[in-house]
Amino acid sequence: MVKKSRAGAIIPLVAVLLPVTIFLIAMIINVAYIELARTELRIATDAAARAGGRELSLTGDIDQAKAAARDAAGRNLVAGSPLLLADDDFTVGVSTRPTPTSRYNFNANSNQNPNSLQIMGRRKNGGASGSVSYFMPNVLGRTAFELEQRARSTQIELDLSLVVDRSGSMAYSDIENATQMHDQGVNPAAAPAGWSYGGIVPPNSRWLDMIAATNVLLDMLEQTPQTELVSLTTYASTASRDIGLTGSYNEIIDGLNDVTQAFHGGGTNIGGGIANGAEALVDTGSRPWATKVAIVLTDGVHNTGTNPVAAAASTEDVTIYTITFSQEAEQRDMRRVARKTGGNHFHASSGQALIDAFREVAKSLPTLITE
């Protein structure tokens, strides 16, 4: 019996299945591309909402907030193109929540001072960025798809602990080597004849530079629509709670001026300052729904008391921003403190740089994506 050859039988089958296979592959690639574009749009919209919401809370200027949001959106690609935002993609309003555990309610275009910015990121026909072309076009006769993503940024209420160094080196100026001069028994150059610790802090001192920078920080907080409560802890060899959480920032300045009038100096117990400042954020007067933040400043090196990194590790739910001031300040541990708690570290070598650092801290305080 002669067997018939089937050599040509597979060719019609391949001819039928190959287009189907190509079609399925194209569909899978397009579905994956849509999900990638959707993720990129969410990232870009969230970034724009955070940047715009923060600018709105600091300046109260809607145009500046839109500009900041557009800049952040444009630095994020969606399907290979920067995300562009039109005026009708923005909505300002007030977000509130009735209880500490409830969701935020957004009141659009409220007449109150706005604390929330909503952004609609769009890749749609007629939108600023247009629709997105399929990676594999002409599948099912379609060449493009549309996406939309909403994000809302709210400036949340903060309980803030200001923790500042009042050790002996803070009596010296930012250009003096305080450690060397103190060890040699040399007073600050600006100190009057016969000056000693316990008297009024000398002019041009790091301490007075710190007060000037603190004034800038408090002025920026004063301009926000929400309420930030601030406490004051100062430390040298030991730490003390000078002012508990308060919404009256004049009390903070008065507390600092009290130290100015009788500046005793001492060692540098940074860890003790951190622990004391963190306690202020959970004591009576703190708000359970508020985000807890500490700003810790030092001009030197920890030399007594609790290790600052260990003190930071023992705090719970407190974000710590650290600022080192002067060339003598040891930055490594302060970076570790900030990194361990989710904060940022800033360094300032001069009084003006310290003001800039406090201003940057104010700009980077937490905002919350509430949708």
Tally Cβ neighbours within 10 Å of residue 136: 15
Structural domain range at position 143:
10-91+120-152
In a shared domain, residues 29 and 146: yes
In a shared domain, residues 60 and 165: no
In a shared domain, residues 84 and 193: no
Q: Is 197 inside any structural domain?
A: yes
- The average pLDDT across 293-303 equals 94
Residue 129: is its pLDDT beyond 60? yes
Rounded CA gap, 168 and 185, in Å? 12
338: nearest Cα among 211, 216, 156, 163 = 163
- CATH number at 263 reads 3.40.50.410
In a shared domain, residues 252 and 187: yes
At 96-116, the pLDDT tens digits run: 776 666 778 888 876 567 788
Q: What is the mean pLDDT of the chain?
A: 89
8 Å CB contact between 90 and 66: yes
Which percentage of the chain shows pLDDT scores above 70? 91
Please identify, among 107, 128, 152, the residue that sits at the C-terminal boundary of a domain. Answer: 152
- The average pLDDT across 309-331 equals 93
Q: Is 291 inside any structural domain?
A: yes
In a shared domain, residues 131 and 246: no
At 29-62, the pLDDT tens digits run: 888 999 999 999 999 999 999 899 878 876 778 8
Please identify, among 152, 170, 197, the residue that sits at the C-terminal boundary of a domain. Answer: 152
In a shared domain, residues 299 and 342: yes
Please identify, among 152, 176, 193, the residue that sits at the C-terminal boundary of a domain. Answer: 152
- The average pLDDT across 212-220 equals 94
Axis-axis angle for helices 332-341, 270-280 (nearest 10): 20
In a shared domain, residues 322 and 221: yes
**Total H helices, total E strands in the chain:** 9, 15
For residue 36, give the H/E element and its range. Answer: helix 10-59
Tokens 């002996």, located at residue = 168
Q: Is 237 inside any structural domain?
A: yes
Q: Is 42 inside any structural domain?
A: yes
At 338-364, the pLDDT tens digits run: 999 989 999 999 999 999 999 988 877
Which percentage of the chain shows pLDDT scores above 90? 63
147: nearest Cα among 119, 123, 129 = 123
In a shared domain, residues 198 and 218: yes
DSSP letter (8 states) at residue 195? -
In a shared domain, residues 353 and 298: yes
Q: Is 105 inside any structural domain?
A: no
The count of domains in the chain is 2
Q: Is 100 inside any structural domain?
A: no
Task: Tell me what pLDDT residue 110 has.
Answer: 62
In a shared domain, residues 138 and 168: no
Tokens 């450690």, located at residue = 179
In a shared domain, residues 217 and 193: yes
Q: Is 224 inside any structural domain?
A: yes
In a shared domain, residues 274 and 314: yes
Q: Is 365 inside any structural domain?
A: yes
